[in-house]
Amino acid sequence: MANTFAASAAQPLARRSAGLPFAAVVLAGVAATTLFAGARFGLMLVLGLGFGLVLEGLRFGFAGPWRQMILRRDPGGILAQLLSIGLVALVALPLLGANPEELIGSQGRIGWAMIGGAFVFGTAMQVVLGCGSGTLVNAGSGNAVALVALPLFCIGSLLGTLHLDWWTNLGALPPIVLSGGSGLALTLAMLAAVAAVVLVRAAPGTRRIPGRYVLAAVLLAALAIANLVVAGQPWGVVYGLGLWAAKSAAGLGVDLSASGFWSAPINAERLHSSILTDYTSLTNIGMILGAAWISMRRTGALDQPVPRLPARAWIAAALSGLVLGYSSRLAFGCNVGAFYSGIATGSLHGWVWFAAAFAGSVLGLRLRPWFGLEPRQ
């Protein structure tokens, strides 16, 4: 009896203390980044941790809600995404309009390669069930498929930068930005219109946003606005992943100076500077660590065995990672950089990305059983 009581009393204590050494190491990393790179970079790492904690802690994301809508006509997650984007737009668009010298939006060029890239990204995203942020968060929380996909995502993103000139020259418009009061009104009206379509298509009894998703939407919006205020640019993911592969390649002796992308002043500067001074790298690192920490706090979450999948499933995960990286580079971003931040900062390419990637997601969900990632129906 006494042993039973002691065991049950020890469980909450063990749960409270789970991950404390890891949290201490992470906080030491934040302090070191602040000290040796600068306070802004330490703060960006904290924001990244926040993104990871919210996405994993509240089990919120981008690929999953799209899957729920397509397969079950459950609109809760996608409505929360639209809500979060709208909240960011309400603050970001006036800020961008008033401070054009200090802040920049997530602007991309609409073109053939961009549309095709977004479609292919949507397909691959549903094959591995993870977008840019999802792959990072899933890898941090112990998902083996995401861990296999992540390094190839980075390599794919690097390959995409090397071919971006060729793809963009197939035809692309200059960035089109909805700005000012009319831009904000149009953005909010379009978000409301998409929400209305989603609600009409939703299954009866599902037309609501769960409280957990509302909380996630509000917290993500707050973090995304902070990202813009601190970094001067919106939340993104893909750029950092391509940079990691580029720096690794350069370190191994690959000459990237002939690349139009990596010889452009901003990108060349990033290539020759520390990762700890690159905003998207810092938030990416924070997302992995934040998700890992939350998983340690969940009783038994990390004790689950890795699922036994057929060889073709692992090959599909690896190839999908490569395709995710390559296609998101052509599409000027993933769900975060193009869809979330693009729409929230008025870039029309975010809307086009959304339409193309959603269509690709429908195809991706049909492909999953063929790769052994789900039972065939």
Reported residue count of the chain is: 377
Closer to another protein by Cβ: residue 161 or 195: 161
**Spatial contact of 111 and 348, defined as CB atoms under 8 Å apart:** no
**Spatial contact of 268 and 236, defined as CB atoms under 8 Å apart:** no
Residue 207 C-beta: closest distance to another protein, Å: 33
Closer to another protein by Cβ: residue 147 or 363: 147
Residue 20 C-beta: closest distance to another protein, Å: 16
Residue 98 C-beta: closest distance to another protein, Å: 10
Residue 330 C-beta: closest distance to another protein, Å: 10
Closer to another protein by Cβ: residue 44 or 202: 44
Closer to another protein by Cβ: residue 37 or 194: 37
CA dihedral 266, 86, 78, 283 (to 10 degrees): 30
Residue 141 C-beta: closest distance to another protein, Å: 6
Distance CA 267, CA 245 (A): 13
Distance CA 74, CA 55 (A): 19
Inter-helix orientation angle 311-330/132-140, to 10°? 140
Q: 3-state DSSP call for residue 347?
A: strand
Closer to another protein by Cβ: residue 150 or 365: 150
Q: 172-199 burial, b if ≥16 CB within 10 A, otherwise e? A: beebebbbeeebbeebeebbeebbeebe
**Spatial contact of 342 and 353, defined as CB atoms under 8 Å apart:** yes
Closer to another protein by Cβ: residue 84 or 295: 295
Residue 16 C-beta: closest distance to another protein, Å: 18
